[in-house]
Amino acid sequence: MATEIVIGGHRRIRPFSTADTYPEQDLGNDLCQAVVAGNTVYLRGQVAQDLDTSENVAVGDAAGQARKVCDNILLLLAEAGAGPEHIVSCHIYLTDIRHREPVYRVMGERLRGVFYVSTGLVVQALARPEWLVEVGVVAVLPPRAQHGQAAVGKALQPAVEPYAKPFGQEAEAQHGE
C-alpha cells in the first residue's frame, strides 16, 4: 500500500488494514499511522513496534519500549513535515504504574524543552500483551508550515512576545471602558 494517501482533503501517512496487522483477530479496519488535517498532525498511539516490519521491540523492557515509541513519534512527525517542537499534547498509556518512572524518564530526555501537555493513564491492557506503553500525540504546525515552509528541527526558542495586557483588559479596551 502507498506510504501516503489523501482522503477528505487530509493526508493519511502509512495507511494499513488491521486485517494485515492483526491477522489472528477478525478485523478489517482501514487506519493509518498519522493524519495531517490543516496544520494539525494526529499520530496513532505508538507502541514499541517497528513501523516497517511490525516487529515488536524491547519486549518486557518499559524503558526500551519508550525509546522505540519516541523513535516512531519523531519519524512520523518528520514524515508529516513536523518536528518535536510542534508537539502540543501526549497521552501516555501504561499497563503498570511501575513503568511510569522509566517511561517518563525516556520521554523527558527525548522531548526535553518541548513543554507539551500530558495525560498519563494506567490501563488494564493494550492491543497486544507484550506492549507495556503506548503514546498518542497531537502536533500543531505554525501557519507557514502548512505550505511546506516550516524550518523543522530548529532549536527550541523561548517565547519572545510578552503579553501586552493582562487577560481581560483587551476586551475592556475594545469597548471603550
Q: Tell me the pLDDT tens digit for each residue of 49-69.
A: 999 999 999 999 999 999 999
Instruction: Find, among 16, 130, 135, 14, the residue nearest to 84 by Cα.
Output: 135
By the 10 Å C-beta count (0-12 exposed, 13-18 middle, 19+ buried), 96 is classed as exposed
Out of 3.30.530.20, 3.90.1170.50, 3.30.1330.40, 3.40.228.10, the CATH code matching 4-174 is 3.30.1330.40
Distance CA 16, CA 29 (A): 8
Instruction: Find, among 74, 78, 79, the residue nearest to 107 by Cα.
Output: 74
* Mean pLDDT on 5-33: 89
For the chain, give every domain's residue range: 4-174
pLDDT of residue 22: 78
What is the number of other CB atoms lying within 10 angstroms of the CB of residue 62? 22
Q: Sign of dihedral through CA atoms 139, 81, 52, 115? A: negative
Tens digits of residue pLDDT in 95-143: 999 999 999 999 999 999 999 999 999 999 999 999 999 999 999 998 8
pLDDT of residue 44: 97
Instruction: Find, among 52, 19, 56, the residue nearest to 33 by Cα.
Output: 52
Q: 41 and 140 in contact (C-beta within 8 Å)? A: yes
* Mean pLDDT on 11-36: 88
Q: 84 and 108 in contact (C-beta within 8 Å)? A: no
Residue 157 has pLDDT above 50, yes or no: no
pLDDT of residue 2: 66
Distance CA 10, CA 130 (A): 32
Is the pTM above the cut of 0.85?
no
* Mean pLDDT on 25-37: 91
Q: 135 and 40 in contact (C-beta within 8 Å)? A: no
pLDDT of residue 140: 98
Residue 160 has pLDDT above 80, yes or no: no
Helix (H) or strand (E) holding 110: helix 100-110
